[in-house]
Structure 1
Amino acid sequence: MTRPDAPTRSPWFPFRAKQGDAEIRLFCLPPAAGAASGYRSWTTRLAPRVEVVPVQLPGRESRFVEDPLTSAGELVARLVDAVGPETGARYAVFGHSMGALLAYDLACALAAAGRPPAHLVVSAHVPAHLMALKPRPTHVARMSDEELRDYLAGNGGLAGELLRDEEVLAILLPLLRADLSVCESYRWTPRPPLEVPITALGGEHDPNAPGALLRRWSELTSAGFRCRLLPGGHHYLYDDPAAAAGAVSETLLDPPEPSR
Protein backbone atom coordinates (compact mmCIF):
# COMPACT_ATOMS: atom_id res chain seq x y z
CA MET A 1 0.00 0.00 0.00
CA THR A 2 1.40 3.38 -1.01
CA ARG A 3 1.55 6.04 1.65
CA PRO A 4 -0.47 9.17 0.79
CA ASP A 5 2.64 11.33 1.12
CA ALA A 6 4.91 9.01 -0.89
CA PRO A 7 6.38 10.69 -3.99
CA THR A 8 5.14 9.41 -7.34
CA ARG A 9 7.76 8.49 -9.91
CA SER A 10 6.99 9.58 -13.45
CA PRO A 11 7.07 6.71 -15.96
CA TRP A 12 9.12 9.03 -18.19
CA PHE A 13 12.00 9.25 -15.68
CA PRO A 14 12.51 5.80 -14.07
CA PHE A 15 16.15 6.31 -13.00
CA ARG A 16 16.01 9.87 -11.81
CA ALA A 17 18.05 10.90 -8.76
CA LYS A 18 17.81 14.63 -8.15
CA GLN A 19 21.08 16.41 -7.40
CA GLY A 20 20.60 19.80 -5.87
CA ASP A 21 24.20 20.89 -6.47
CA ALA A 22 24.33 20.02 -10.20
CA GLU A 23 25.21 22.83 -12.61
CA ILE A 24 22.92 21.54 -15.34
CA ARG A 25 20.20 18.92 -15.82
CA LEU A 26 20.53 16.66 -18.88
CA PHE A 27 17.55 14.86 -20.42
CA CYS A 28 18.70 11.87 -22.52
CA LEU A 29 16.58 10.43 -25.34
CA PRO A 30 17.26 6.90 -26.65
CA PRO A 31 17.89 5.54 -30.15
CA ALA A 32 15.43 3.32 -32.04
CA ALA A 33 14.57 0.29 -29.88
CA GLY A 34 16.65 1.83 -27.09
CA ALA A 35 15.58 2.58 -23.56
CA ALA A 36 16.35 4.71 -20.53
CA SER A 37 18.64 2.07 -19.03
CA GLY A 38 21.16 2.80 -21.79
CA TYR A 39 22.01 6.03 -19.98
CA ARG A 40 21.79 4.74 -16.43
CA SER A 41 25.57 4.62 -15.96
CA TRP A 42 25.74 8.29 -16.90
CA THR A 43 23.86 9.24 -13.73
CA THR A 44 27.04 8.46 -11.77
CA ARG A 45 29.65 9.12 -14.50
CA LEU A 46 28.52 12.75 -14.94
CA ALA A 47 27.68 13.47 -11.30
CA PRO A 48 27.84 15.72 -9.40
CA ARG A 49 28.13 18.58 -11.92
CA VAL A 50 25.56 17.16 -14.35
CA GLU A 51 22.24 15.67 -13.23
CA VAL A 52 21.39 13.02 -15.84
CA VAL A 53 17.72 12.23 -16.45
CA PRO A 54 17.29 9.20 -18.76
CA VAL A 55 13.94 9.41 -20.56
CA GLN A 56 11.80 6.30 -20.99
CA LEU A 57 9.62 6.33 -24.10
CA PRO A 58 6.39 4.27 -24.28
CA GLY A 59 6.72 0.62 -25.27
CA ARG A 60 10.03 -0.32 -23.64
CA GLU A 61 11.32 -1.70 -20.33
CA SER A 62 9.16 -0.31 -17.51
CA ARG A 63 6.62 0.90 -20.11
CA PHE A 64 6.51 -2.37 -22.06
CA VAL A 65 2.72 -2.71 -21.72
CA GLU A 66 2.21 0.58 -23.56
CA ASP A 67 2.09 0.68 -27.34
CA PRO A 68 5.10 2.44 -28.90
CA LEU A 69 4.23 5.59 -30.80
CA THR A 70 4.94 5.83 -34.52
CA SER A 71 4.72 9.60 -34.99
CA ALA A 72 7.49 12.04 -34.09
CA GLY A 73 4.92 14.80 -33.68
CA GLU A 74 2.93 12.86 -31.09
CA LEU A 75 6.06 11.73 -29.27
CA VAL A 76 7.43 15.28 -29.05
CA ALA A 77 4.08 16.66 -27.87
CA ARG A 78 4.04 14.16 -25.04
CA LEU A 79 7.70 14.83 -24.26
CA VAL A 80 6.97 18.55 -23.96
CA ASP A 81 4.28 17.77 -21.37
CA ALA A 82 6.62 15.46 -19.44
CA VAL A 83 9.91 17.36 -19.66
CA GLY A 84 8.63 20.94 -19.65
CA PRO A 85 7.71 21.10 -15.94
CA GLU A 86 11.01 19.38 -14.99
CA THR A 87 13.49 21.58 -16.82
CA GLY A 88 14.71 23.50 -13.77
CA ALA A 89 16.89 26.61 -13.89
CA ARG A 90 19.37 25.27 -16.47
CA TYR A 91 19.02 22.17 -18.59
CA ALA A 92 20.20 20.48 -21.78
CA VAL A 93 18.83 17.82 -24.11
CA PHE A 94 20.77 14.88 -25.58
CA GLY A 95 19.60 12.37 -28.16
CA HIS A 96 21.32 9.48 -29.94
CA SER A 97 20.25 8.39 -33.46
CA MET A 98 16.41 8.58 -33.48
CA GLY A 99 16.74 10.40 -30.16
CA ALA A 100 18.64 13.20 -31.91
CA LEU A 101 15.60 14.00 -34.07
CA LEU A 102 13.34 13.98 -31.03
CA ALA A 103 15.82 16.06 -29.03
CA TYR A 104 15.97 18.71 -31.75
CA ASP A 105 12.18 19.02 -32.07
CA LEU A 106 11.81 18.98 -28.28
CA ALA A 107 14.36 21.79 -27.95
CA CYS A 108 12.53 23.80 -30.61
CA ALA A 109 9.16 23.29 -28.91
CA LEU A 110 10.46 24.24 -25.46
CA ALA A 111 12.27 27.27 -26.89
CA ALA A 112 9.04 28.40 -28.57
CA ALA A 113 7.32 28.07 -25.19
CA GLY A 114 9.91 30.37 -23.60
CA ARG A 115 11.94 27.60 -21.92
CA PRO A 116 14.94 27.04 -24.24
CA PRO A 117 17.63 24.56 -23.20
CA ALA A 118 21.11 25.83 -22.44
CA HIS A 119 22.52 23.25 -24.89
CA LEU A 120 21.39 20.68 -27.44
CA VAL A 121 23.62 17.66 -28.04
CA VAL A 122 22.75 15.47 -31.04
CA SER A 123 24.45 12.16 -31.73
CA ALA A 124 24.77 9.82 -34.72
CA HIS A 125 22.06 11.28 -36.94
CA VAL A 126 21.99 13.47 -40.01
CA PRO A 127 20.58 16.99 -39.43
CA ALA A 128 16.81 17.23 -39.15
CA HIS A 129 16.51 19.41 -42.26
CA LEU A 130 18.61 17.05 -44.40
CA MET A 131 16.76 13.76 -43.96
CA ALA A 132 16.68 13.32 -47.74
CA LEU A 133 20.48 13.03 -47.69
CA LYS A 134 20.54 10.00 -45.40
CA PRO A 135 23.04 7.53 -46.89
CA ARG A 136 20.84 4.53 -46.09
CA PRO A 137 17.60 3.54 -47.89
CA THR A 138 14.17 4.54 -46.65
CA HIS A 139 11.11 2.32 -46.14
CA VAL A 140 13.04 0.09 -43.74
CA ALA A 141 10.02 0.00 -41.43
CA ARG A 142 8.03 -1.84 -44.12
CA MET A 143 10.55 -4.65 -44.52
CA SER A 144 9.72 -8.20 -43.50
CA ASP A 145 11.33 -9.46 -40.30
CA GLU A 146 13.94 -11.36 -42.32
CA GLU A 147 14.72 -8.34 -44.52
CA LEU A 148 14.90 -6.12 -41.48
CA ARG A 149 17.28 -8.51 -39.74
CA ASP A 150 19.54 -8.60 -42.83
CA TYR A 151 19.45 -4.83 -43.06
CA LEU A 152 20.42 -4.41 -39.43
CA ALA A 153 23.22 -6.96 -39.77
CA GLY A 154 24.57 -5.06 -42.77
CA ASN A 155 24.63 -1.56 -41.34
CA GLY A 156 25.25 -2.05 -37.63
CA GLY A 157 21.74 -1.13 -36.51
CA LEU A 158 21.88 -3.71 -33.69
CA ALA A 159 24.76 -5.41 -31.95
CA GLY A 160 25.60 -8.82 -33.42
CA GLU A 161 24.70 -10.82 -30.30
CA LEU A 162 21.19 -9.35 -30.31
CA LEU A 163 20.63 -10.36 -33.93
CA ARG A 164 21.35 -13.97 -32.97
CA ASP A 165 18.93 -14.06 -30.01
CA GLU A 166 15.48 -15.07 -31.28
CA GLU A 167 13.69 -14.24 -28.01
CA VAL A 168 15.20 -10.77 -27.85
CA LEU A 169 14.45 -10.17 -31.53
CA ALA A 170 10.79 -11.12 -31.01
CA ILE A 171 10.58 -8.22 -28.56
CA LEU A 172 12.87 -5.76 -30.32
CA LEU A 173 11.70 -6.01 -33.94
CA PRO A 174 8.14 -4.65 -33.39
CA LEU A 175 9.53 -1.83 -31.26
CA LEU A 176 12.27 -1.14 -33.77
CA ARG A 177 9.75 -1.11 -36.61
CA ALA A 178 7.64 1.45 -34.73
CA ASP A 179 10.68 3.62 -34.06
CA LEU A 180 11.82 3.41 -37.67
CA SER A 181 8.34 4.59 -38.65
CA VAL A 182 8.94 7.62 -36.43
CA CYS A 183 12.13 8.41 -38.33
CA GLU A 184 10.83 7.67 -41.81
CA SER A 185 7.64 9.71 -41.37
CA TYR A 186 9.55 12.65 -39.87
CA ARG A 187 9.17 15.91 -41.78
CA TRP A 188 11.23 18.94 -40.85
CA THR A 189 9.26 22.16 -40.44
CA PRO A 190 11.21 25.17 -41.75
CA ARG A 191 11.96 27.49 -38.85
CA PRO A 192 14.59 30.04 -37.80
CA PRO A 193 17.85 28.66 -36.39
CA LEU A 194 17.71 27.81 -32.70
CA GLU A 195 19.22 30.40 -30.39
CA VAL A 196 20.72 27.45 -28.53
CA PRO A 197 24.28 26.03 -28.91
CA ILE A 198 24.39 22.67 -30.67
CA THR A 199 27.07 20.02 -30.36
CA ALA A 200 27.03 17.10 -32.81
CA LEU A 201 28.74 13.86 -31.77
CA GLY A 202 29.28 10.73 -33.82
CA GLY A 203 31.40 7.70 -34.55
CA GLU A 204 34.33 8.05 -36.92
CA HIS A 205 33.17 5.03 -38.92
CA ASP A 206 29.39 5.43 -38.76
CA PRO A 207 27.90 4.90 -42.24
CA ASN A 208 24.54 6.26 -41.08
CA ALA A 209 25.83 9.69 -40.02
CA PRO A 210 29.15 10.59 -41.65
CA GLY A 211 31.07 13.55 -40.29
CA ALA A 212 30.38 15.71 -43.36
CA LEU A 213 26.66 15.54 -42.65
CA LEU A 214 26.98 15.79 -38.87
CA ARG A 215 28.75 19.14 -39.32
CA ARG A 216 25.69 20.53 -41.09
CA TRP A 217 23.78 20.60 -37.80
CA SER A 218 25.57 23.97 -37.62
CA GLU A 219 22.93 25.29 -40.04
CA LEU A 220 20.24 24.89 -37.38
CA THR A 221 21.74 27.16 -34.71
CA SER A 222 22.75 30.79 -34.39
CA ALA A 223 24.29 30.33 -30.96
CA GLY A 224 27.47 28.31 -31.52
CA PHE A 225 28.31 24.88 -32.87
CA ARG A 226 30.84 22.12 -32.32
CA CYS A 227 31.28 18.70 -33.93
CA ARG A 228 33.31 15.88 -32.44
CA LEU A 229 33.90 12.38 -33.79
CA LEU A 230 34.84 9.52 -31.46
CA PRO A 231 36.35 6.12 -32.27
CA GLY A 232 33.78 3.59 -33.43
CA GLY A 233 30.70 3.32 -35.57
CA HIS A 234 27.01 3.89 -34.99
CA HIS A 235 27.26 2.25 -31.57
CA TYR A 236 30.25 4.28 -30.40
CA LEU A 237 28.10 5.46 -27.49
CA TYR A 238 27.92 1.94 -26.05
CA ASP A 239 31.28 0.65 -27.26
CA ASP A 240 33.09 3.00 -24.86
CA PRO A 241 30.55 4.48 -22.42
CA ALA A 242 33.21 6.30 -20.40
CA ALA A 243 34.58 8.14 -23.45
CA ALA A 244 31.10 9.03 -24.69
CA ALA A 245 29.96 10.28 -21.28
CA GLY A 246 33.18 12.25 -20.97
CA ALA A 247 32.63 13.94 -24.34
CA VAL A 248 29.09 14.91 -23.34
CA SER A 249 30.22 16.23 -19.97
CA GLU A 250 33.00 18.29 -21.53
CA THR A 251 30.75 19.93 -24.09
CA LEU A 252 28.06 20.74 -21.51
CA LEU A 253 30.54 22.34 -19.13
CA ASP A 254 32.49 24.08 -21.92
CA PRO A 255 29.91 25.03 -24.57
CA PRO A 256 30.89 26.34 -28.03
CA GLU A 257 31.14 30.06 -28.55
CA PRO A 258 28.60 31.79 -30.83
CA SER A 259 29.79 32.41 -34.37
CA ARG A 260 30.95 35.94 -35.09
Structure 2
Amino acid sequence: MHGLDDGTWIRRFHPRPDSGVRLVCLPHAGGSASFFFPLSRAMPPFVEVLAVQYPGRQERRGEPAVDSVPELADRVFAALAPWADRPLALFGHSLGGMVAFEVARRFEREPGTAAALLFASACRAPSVPRHAEKGWVHLKDDAGLVEELVSLGGTDPSLFADDEFLSMVLPTVRADYRAAERYVCEPGEPLRCPVVALTGDSDPRVGDADVKAWEEATEDSFDLLSFPGGHFYLNGRHREVARAVSERLRACAGEPPPPGG
Protein backbone atom coordinates (compact mmCIF):
# COMPACT_ATOMS: atom_id res chain seq x y z
CA MET A 1 0.00 0.00 0.00
CA HIS A 2 1.19 3.49 -0.77
CA GLY A 3 0.55 6.88 0.79
CA LEU A 4 0.03 8.06 4.34
CA ASP A 5 -2.92 9.75 6.01
CA ASP A 6 -2.09 13.10 7.55
CA GLY A 7 -4.94 12.71 10.03
CA THR A 8 -7.70 14.16 7.87
CA TRP A 9 -9.31 10.96 6.60
CA ILE A 10 -9.58 8.66 9.62
CA ARG A 11 -11.45 9.20 12.89
CA ARG A 12 -10.92 6.81 15.78
CA PHE A 13 -13.59 7.65 18.35
CA HIS A 14 -12.88 4.76 20.72
CA PRO A 15 -9.24 3.64 20.51
CA ARG A 16 -8.83 -0.06 21.25
CA PRO A 17 -5.11 -0.77 20.98
CA ASP A 18 -5.59 -4.43 21.86
CA SER A 19 -8.28 -5.08 19.27
CA GLY A 20 -7.77 -7.97 16.86
CA VAL A 21 -9.49 -6.36 13.88
CA ARG A 22 -10.31 -2.88 12.62
CA LEU A 23 -13.64 -2.03 11.02
CA VAL A 24 -13.37 0.81 8.48
CA CYS A 25 -16.72 2.61 8.21
CA LEU A 26 -17.57 4.69 5.13
CA PRO A 27 -20.58 7.04 5.23
CA HIS A 28 -23.50 7.73 2.92
CA ALA A 29 -24.04 10.69 0.58
CA GLY A 30 -23.91 13.84 2.70
CA GLY A 31 -22.81 11.79 5.68
CA SER A 32 -19.78 12.22 7.90
CA ALA A 33 -17.58 10.10 10.14
CA SER A 34 -19.68 11.01 13.19
CA PHE A 35 -22.58 8.95 11.78
CA PHE A 36 -20.66 5.92 13.01
CA PHE A 37 -19.92 7.18 16.54
CA PRO A 38 -22.76 5.14 18.12
CA LEU A 39 -21.74 2.02 16.19
CA SER A 40 -18.14 2.47 17.31
CA ARG A 41 -19.24 2.81 20.93
CA ALA A 42 -21.37 -0.35 20.70
CA MET A 43 -18.57 -2.58 19.38
CA PRO A 44 -16.90 -5.10 21.72
CA PRO A 45 -13.25 -4.57 22.72
CA PHE A 46 -11.87 -6.84 20.00
CA VAL A 47 -13.18 -4.52 17.23
CA GLU A 48 -11.75 -1.04 16.71
CA VAL A 49 -13.76 1.26 14.43
CA LEU A 50 -12.05 3.64 12.01
CA ALA A 51 -14.61 6.09 10.62
CA VAL A 52 -13.73 7.75 7.32
CA GLN A 53 -14.20 11.49 6.94
CA TYR A 54 -14.66 12.48 3.30
CA PRO A 55 -13.66 16.01 2.21
CA GLY A 56 -16.34 18.70 2.15
CA ARG A 57 -18.01 18.13 5.54
CA GLN A 58 -17.64 19.08 9.19
CA GLU A 59 -14.04 20.11 9.85
CA ARG A 60 -13.18 19.33 6.21
CA ARG A 61 -15.94 21.53 4.77
CA GLY A 62 -13.36 23.95 3.37
CA GLU A 63 -12.12 21.22 1.02
CA PRO A 64 -13.87 20.38 -2.26
CA ALA A 65 -15.95 17.22 -2.15
CA VAL A 66 -14.81 14.28 -4.28
CA ASP A 67 -17.49 13.47 -6.87
CA SER A 68 -16.07 10.15 -8.09
CA VAL A 69 -16.33 6.75 -6.38
CA PRO A 70 -13.03 5.48 -7.86
CA GLU A 71 -11.18 8.61 -6.72
CA LEU A 72 -12.67 8.35 -3.25
CA ALA A 73 -11.63 4.70 -3.12
CA ASP A 74 -8.08 5.55 -4.22
CA ARG A 75 -7.73 8.16 -1.50
CA VAL A 76 -9.30 6.06 1.25
CA PHE A 77 -7.10 3.11 0.31
CA ALA A 78 -3.99 5.28 0.59
CA ALA A 79 -5.17 6.69 3.92
CA LEU A 80 -5.50 3.19 5.37
CA ALA A 81 -1.82 2.37 4.92
CA PRO A 82 -0.83 3.24 8.53
CA TRP A 83 -3.69 1.12 9.89
CA ALA A 84 -2.96 -2.13 8.06
CA ASP A 85 -0.90 -3.70 10.85
CA ARG A 86 -3.90 -5.85 11.73
CA PRO A 87 -6.87 -7.20 9.73
CA LEU A 88 -9.12 -4.57 8.20
CA ALA A 89 -12.81 -5.14 7.44
CA LEU A 90 -14.93 -2.61 5.54
CA PHE A 91 -18.44 -1.34 6.38
CA GLY A 92 -20.00 1.01 3.86
CA HIS A 93 -23.46 2.58 4.13
CA SER A 94 -25.23 3.52 0.86
CA LEU A 95 -22.63 5.52 -1.15
CA GLY A 96 -20.11 4.15 1.34
CA GLY A 97 -20.95 0.62 0.21
CA MET A 98 -19.83 1.42 -3.32
CA VAL A 99 -16.65 3.03 -2.03
CA ALA A 100 -16.01 0.07 0.30
CA PHE A 101 -16.36 -2.37 -2.59
CA GLU A 102 -13.82 -0.41 -4.64
CA VAL A 103 -11.45 -0.18 -1.66
CA ALA A 104 -11.71 -3.96 -1.24
CA ARG A 105 -10.76 -4.35 -4.90
CA ARG A 106 -7.70 -2.18 -4.35
CA PHE A 107 -6.66 -4.30 -1.41
CA GLU A 108 -6.82 -7.40 -3.55
CA ARG A 109 -4.73 -5.84 -6.31
CA GLU A 110 -1.94 -5.04 -3.83
CA PRO A 111 0.28 -8.06 -3.14
CA GLY A 112 0.01 -9.33 0.39
CA THR A 113 -3.12 -7.38 1.35
CA ALA A 114 -6.83 -8.14 1.40
CA ALA A 115 -9.90 -6.96 3.26
CA ALA A 116 -11.04 -9.46 5.87
CA LEU A 117 -14.75 -8.88 5.16
CA LEU A 118 -16.99 -6.45 3.31
CA PHE A 119 -20.22 -5.26 4.93
CA ALA A 120 -22.46 -3.49 2.40
CA SER A 121 -25.25 -1.57 4.12
CA ALA A 122 -28.33 -0.07 2.40
CA CYS A 123 -26.53 -0.32 -0.93
CA ARG A 124 -27.31 -1.86 -4.30
CA ALA A 125 -24.82 -4.44 -5.51
CA PRO A 126 -22.21 -3.14 -7.98
CA SER A 127 -23.76 -5.19 -10.79
CA VAL A 128 -27.15 -3.44 -10.43
CA PRO A 129 -27.46 -0.53 -12.89
CA ARG A 130 -28.08 2.88 -11.39
CA HIS A 131 -31.37 3.95 -13.01
CA ALA A 132 -32.81 7.44 -12.74
CA GLU A 133 -36.42 6.45 -12.05
CA LYS A 134 -37.36 10.01 -11.07
CA GLY A 135 -34.43 11.81 -12.65
CA TRP A 136 -30.86 11.99 -11.43
CA VAL A 137 -30.85 13.56 -7.98
CA HIS A 138 -27.56 15.38 -8.54
CA LEU A 139 -29.13 17.28 -11.47
CA LYS A 140 -32.15 18.50 -9.48
CA ASP A 141 -32.43 21.99 -8.07
CA ASP A 142 -31.92 22.56 -4.35
CA ALA A 143 -35.59 21.97 -3.57
CA GLY A 144 -35.46 18.61 -5.36
CA LEU A 145 -32.33 17.66 -3.49
CA VAL A 146 -33.95 18.51 -0.16
CA GLU A 147 -37.05 16.51 -1.15
CA GLU A 148 -34.85 13.46 -1.73
CA LEU A 149 -33.14 13.82 1.64
CA VAL A 150 -36.45 14.24 3.45
CA SER A 151 -37.85 11.10 1.77
CA LEU A 152 -34.95 9.00 3.01
CA GLY A 153 -35.07 10.19 6.61
CA GLY A 154 -31.89 10.14 8.67
CA THR A 155 -31.71 13.95 9.02
CA ASP A 156 -33.59 16.16 11.47
CA PRO A 157 -36.31 17.73 9.24
CA SER A 158 -36.04 21.06 11.06
CA LEU A 159 -32.53 21.52 9.64
CA PHE A 160 -33.97 21.82 6.14
CA ALA A 161 -35.63 25.10 7.16
CA ASP A 162 -32.21 26.57 8.02
CA ASP A 163 -30.89 28.43 4.96
CA GLU A 164 -27.39 28.63 6.42
CA PHE A 165 -27.32 24.89 6.99
CA LEU A 166 -28.55 24.21 3.45
CA SER A 167 -26.01 26.51 1.84
CA MET A 168 -23.28 24.70 3.74
CA VAL A 169 -24.29 21.09 3.05
CA LEU A 170 -26.11 20.96 -0.28
CA PRO A 171 -23.02 21.38 -2.52
CA THR A 172 -21.40 18.42 -0.79
CA VAL A 173 -24.58 16.34 -0.92
CA ARG A 174 -24.88 17.08 -4.64
CA ALA A 175 -21.28 16.02 -5.25
CA ASP A 176 -21.86 12.80 -3.32
CA TYR A 177 -24.98 12.00 -5.34
CA ARG A 178 -23.04 12.74 -8.52
CA ALA A 179 -20.43 10.20 -7.43
CA ALA A 180 -23.05 7.56 -6.64
CA GLU A 181 -25.21 8.09 -9.71
CA ARG A 182 -22.35 8.16 -12.20
CA TYR A 183 -20.64 5.10 -10.72
CA VAL A 184 -20.20 2.23 -13.15
CA CYS A 185 -18.63 -0.99 -11.90
CA GLU A 186 -15.73 -1.91 -14.15
CA PRO A 187 -15.52 -5.60 -15.09
CA GLY A 188 -13.24 -7.62 -12.89
CA GLU A 189 -12.80 -10.73 -10.80
CA PRO A 190 -15.17 -11.22 -7.85
CA LEU A 191 -13.81 -10.40 -4.43
CA ARG A 192 -12.03 -13.13 -2.50
CA CYS A 193 -13.35 -11.96 0.88
CA PRO A 194 -16.77 -12.77 2.38
CA VAL A 195 -19.55 -10.25 1.77
CA VAL A 196 -22.37 -9.47 4.19
CA ALA A 197 -25.22 -7.29 2.92
CA LEU A 198 -27.34 -5.40 5.46
CA THR A 199 -30.66 -3.79 4.62
CA GLY A 200 -33.72 -2.15 6.13
CA ASP A 201 -36.87 -4.11 5.35
CA SER A 202 -38.71 -0.95 4.25
CA ASP A 203 -35.90 0.86 2.42
CA PRO A 204 -37.60 2.98 -0.28
CA ARG A 205 -34.54 3.05 -2.55
CA VAL A 206 -32.84 -0.34 -2.21
CA GLY A 207 -34.94 -3.42 -2.97
CA ASP A 208 -34.46 -7.06 -2.05
CA ALA A 209 -33.11 -8.03 -5.48
CA ASP A 210 -30.65 -5.10 -5.37
CA VAL A 211 -29.21 -6.44 -2.12
CA LYS A 212 -29.26 -10.15 -2.97
CA ALA A 213 -27.18 -9.38 -6.06
CA TRP A 214 -24.20 -8.76 -3.75
CA GLU A 215 -23.75 -12.54 -3.79
CA GLU A 216 -22.33 -12.16 -7.31
CA ALA A 217 -19.63 -9.81 -6.01
CA THR A 218 -17.67 -12.49 -4.15
CA GLU A 219 -16.33 -15.98 -4.70
CA ASP A 220 -16.37 -16.46 -0.91
CA SER A 221 -19.38 -16.72 1.40
CA PHE A 222 -22.37 -14.35 1.25
CA ASP A 223 -24.86 -13.48 3.95
CA LEU A 224 -27.89 -11.18 4.00
CA LEU A 225 -29.11 -9.48 7.16
CA SER A 226 -32.42 -7.62 7.25
CA PHE A 227 -33.38 -5.18 10.00
CA PRO A 228 -36.64 -3.34 10.66
CA GLY A 229 -36.49 0.16 9.19
CA GLY A 230 -35.81 2.20 6.09
CA HIS A 231 -32.68 3.47 4.39
CA PHE A 232 -31.29 4.59 7.75
CA TYR A 233 -32.32 1.44 9.65
CA LEU A 234 -29.01 1.77 11.52
CA ASN A 235 -30.30 4.72 13.55
CA GLY A 236 -31.55 3.33 16.83
CA ARG A 237 -30.22 -0.17 16.10
CA HIS A 238 -26.52 0.31 16.68
CA ARG A 239 -26.24 -2.37 19.36
CA GLU A 240 -28.12 -4.92 17.27
CA VAL A 241 -25.99 -4.18 14.20
CA ALA A 242 -22.77 -4.11 16.23
CA ARG A 243 -23.60 -7.53 17.65
CA ALA A 244 -24.27 -9.02 14.20
CA VAL A 245 -21.15 -7.45 12.67
CA SER A 246 -18.81 -8.30 15.53
CA GLU A 247 -19.90 -11.96 15.58
CA ARG A 248 -18.79 -12.20 11.95
CA LEU A 249 -15.46 -10.62 12.83
CA ARG A 250 -14.60 -12.95 15.71
CA ALA A 251 -12.60 -15.41 13.65
CA CYS A 252 -10.39 -12.85 11.88
CA ALA A 253 -9.84 -11.09 15.23
CA GLY A 254 -8.59 -14.34 16.75
CA GLU A 255 -11.45 -14.38 19.27
CA PRO A 256 -12.90 -17.63 20.60
CA PRO A 257 -16.60 -18.33 20.06
CA PRO A 258 -18.88 -16.82 22.70
CA PRO A 259 -19.91 -19.07 25.62
CA GLY A 260 -22.44 -21.54 24.36
CA GLY A 261 -21.68 -20.55 20.74
TM-score bracket, normalised by the shorter chain, equals 0.7 to 0.9
Q: Distance in 2 between matches of 1:142 and 1:210?
A: 23
Determine whether 1:199 maps to 2:191: no
Counterpart residue identity of residue 10, structure 2: F
Counterpart residue identity of residue 33, structure 2: A
Q: Which residue of 1 aligns with 2:164?
A: 167
1:52 to 49, 54, 60: 49
Q: Which residue of 2 aligns with 1:184?
A: 181
Q: Which residue of 1 aligns with 2:117?
A: 119
Q: Which residue of 1 aligns with 2:106?
A: 109
Q: Which residue of 2 aligns with 1:69?
A: 66
Q: Which moved more, 1:235-244 or 1:199-208?
A: 235-244
Conservation of the 8 A alpha-carbon contact between 1:28 and 1:93: yes
Q: Distance in 2 between matches of 1:149 and 1:187?
A: 25
1:224 to 214, 221, 225: 221
- Other structure's SS at 2:56 match: coil
Counterpart residue identity of residue 28, structure 1: C
Counterpart residue identity of residue 170, structure 1: S
Conservation of the 8 A alpha-carbon contact between 2:154 and 2:235: no
Q: Which residue of 2 aligns with 1:253?
A: 250
Q: Which residue of 2 aligns with 1:99?
A: 96
Q: Distance in 1 between matches of 2:116 and 2:151?
A: 37
Counterpart residue identity of residue 62, structure 2: V
Shift of residue 151, structure 1, vs aligned partner: 2.9
Shift of residue 90, structure 1, vs aligned partner: 1.1
Conservation of the 8 A alpha-carbon contact between 1:135 and 1:208: no
1:141 to 138, 141, 152: 138
Q: Distance in 1 between matches of 2:143 and 2:149?
A: 10
Determine whether 1:129 maps to 2:127: yes
Conservation of the 8 A alpha-carbon contact between 1:211 and 1:229: no
Q: TM-score, normalised by structure 1?
A: 0.87
Cα distance change, pair 166–81 in 1 and its aligned pair in 2 (3 A): same
Determine whether 1:41 maps to 2:38: yes
Conservation of the 8 A alpha-carbon contact between 1:84 and 1:110: no
- Other structure's SS at 2:45 match: coil
Q: Distance in 1 between matches of 2:247 and 2:228?
A: 17
Residue segments in structure 2 that go unaligned for 5+ positions in a row = 253-261
Cα distance change, pair 135–224 in 1 and its aligned pair in 2 (3 A): farther
Q: Distance in 2 between matches of 1:157 and 1:75?
A: 23
1 or 2 for the larger relative contact order (CA 8 Å, sep ≥6)?
2
Residue segments in structure 1 that go unaligned for 5+ positions in a row = 1-7, 256-260
Q: Which moved more, 1:42-51 or 1:181-190?
A: 42-51
Superposition RMSD on alpha carbons, in Å? Answer: 2.1
Deviations 1:115-164 (A, max 9, x none): 111100000011012133x5854421011111222233334474433333
Conservation of the 8 A alpha-carbon contact between 1:15 and 1:40: no
Conservation of the 8 A alpha-carbon contact between 1:30 and 1:99: yes
Cα distance change, pair 125–47 in 1 and its aligned pair in 2 (3 A): same
Number of aligned residue pairs: 247
Conservation of the 8 A alpha-carbon contact between 1:138 and 1:184: no
Q: Distance in 2 between matches of 1:157 and 1:130?
A: 24
